[in-house]
Chain A
């Protein structure tokens, strides 16, 4: 579904990603973990072409995202992304946020897209907020609307960029529950997260990134119970300590 071939990315002389090779299969749920500033977000944003790479190729559903003549808008409409800061459109209501892209990009009929939006908002538990503006929502609610907005495009892949790191614990749980429901439905997902317990419970596979390189990858049990590298061990130790507090 997603393949990285020798991908490198540098930004202002800093190597954010160094020679990344990885393949993510259909219906796989991959968690990306690692210290802050290790290139996790960049990794994710390369997949839908929000961040252009310097070297290497990325294939999404057999289409080369890094090719010059690629129709990025088409790929992006197949790949949903949920941002750390939600990025809901502040001038549109919840309903309009969810229906804008289906109507304009997918050319869906307005009624159809509204019915779909109602289903999705019901799924994330926000049917009562359809006429509210993003500013009138709590962080957790906003993030769930953002998830519904992405799902409205019926994507083949969902990307999550630290979806809960701007939220307090209670709201985090709401959002994590929503993501778990999606996982059960067989969506292909790549999740960048700080929530170790969540990563462990949810992911089929965990990739540990540090300083732009993949240090270790494997099943979540393998990474969490039996990490091979010292860097991974150190990171997990401090990460779990934080979560206990």
Chain B
């Protein structure tokens, strides 16, 4: 039987917590930026001119159909070549924002499309302006559908942020791996690391649920 040594973990807790803070920092900042990118892309796709639409669609397709690791390496290795020097953590945040943004734009688009066009026609017919229609009719209905997938995009960002350790950012995964290799204690460190990630993602899932209930429409069963 494997001799599970809890003392190495207890000793390393501060070291891991420090990494967790970096992981959280990167995921939160990236998710916020990704949301803004997603909004802009959706705006381009729904209201933009033809070239803007083309740019938006190309962006989404290229980002969604290539590995994050390649995008990360590209930003880390190739941006300095054109004179853009970012610290590793900046590269990590940039890559993660760009990547998650493409997925969030799809989430937002699906949410807006889910509100039937009859609703749009009805509110225009009542004399509401385009903006009022969006704010008072489309948005309140779409938000209910958007929240759960947005939550899972945030969870994905937390998990994906582990890749920044390959461009020398000392995030949670980096420290789990380093601890495991240094002490040759793989089971202890990986189980602890997994648990910390589970707590982080679990918390987000919980918050998503609470938030979703806030926007429930009375008498309607939630069905995305």
A and B touch in the complex (CB under 8 A): no
